Amino acid sequence: MTGLYYEEFSVGQEFEHPITRTVTEADNMLFCMMTMNPQPLHIDAHYAADTEFGRPIVNSIFTLGLMIGISVPDTTLGTTLANLSMTDIAFPKPVYHGDTLRARTRVISMRKSRSRPDVGLVELEHNCLNQSGELVATCRRMTMMRRRPG
């Protein structure tokens, strides 16, 4: 288990996650089909060619999931009990097939649970950047984290 316990976080703490991932057309197509999202902007190259993007863009919910997934080994792997919310989600730039994404995380706030002495709440801000360092996604995530045993 590589995730951190509640006590191992601190407000303002930052993580530059070492995992990067190049997004493929297959990733985007499979995700759209699995989630029953037939948006032609994602799956139809001829349609997308006539849009302001000029080519298909990656489904933003895939980008959101990838951004958070990249953060898991350094932050919450095996130590989170639940995601309580995701807010302030934004996608300031599109992601295209072939883009390589990386993520960073900052601890925004923390508090011990008032009803469960074995858990604490940690609010994380995730940012996802492409290979050019452009911000492509951001969100705040409230997690319910295990406290260190004993």
Range of the domain at 117: 6-24+58-146
Tell whether 45 is covered by a domain: no
Q: What is the CATH number of the domain that holds 137?
A: 3.10.129.10
Domain tally, the chain: 1
- Could you give the CA distance from residue 113 to residue 142 in angstroms, rounded to a whole number? 12
- Could you give the CA distance from residue 81 to residue 104 in angstroms, rounded to a whole number? 21
pTM: 0.94
pLDDT by position in tens, the chain (length 150): 689 999 999 999 999 999 999 999 999 999 999 999 999 999 999 999 999 999 999 999 999 999 999 999 999 999 999 999 999 999 999 999 999 999 999 999 999 999 999 999 999 999 999 999 999 999 999 999 999 987
